[in-house]
Amino acid sequence: MGTLNSEAIRAKLSGLPGWELKDTAISRTFTFGDFAEALAFVIRLGFAAEAADHHPDIDIRYKRVTLTYSTHSEGGLTEKDFAGAKKATKLAT
């Protein structure tokens, strides 16, 4: 699997509201009602990430969860990152 070019990245980001390009990664912060809701989201996401064998960087700050996806082994963004972001967005709603 190779990295995506900038045109493909822009096209994929347009279908993922709230996600931002940061260097060679995409990131989004989700805000929940409280810590328990944020943690429940992370647990659901953890099972999905494990099943896909592709894991985001996760930063939990009380009721805010920031996810960052990048395929480290490829040195940039791949289809896996956007699939993970799409799944995370779905799990957050």
pLDDT in tens, 37-77: 999 999 999 999 999 999 999 999 999 999 999 999 999 99
- Domain covering 19-92, topology: Gyrase A; domain 2 (3.30.1360)
For residues 77 and 26, the answer to whether their CB atoms sit within 8 Å is yes
**What DSSP line would sit under 19-60, residue for residue?**
-EEETTEEEEEEE-SSHHHHHHHHHHHHHHHHHHT---EEEE
Q: Residue 30 corresponds to which tokens in the numbers above? A: 């989700």
Q: Give the pLDDT confidence score for residue 1 in this predicted structure.
A: 67
Q: Give the pLDDT confidence score for residue 93 in this predicted structure.
A: 87
Domain spans of the chain, in order of start: 19-92
pTM to 2 decimals? 0.94
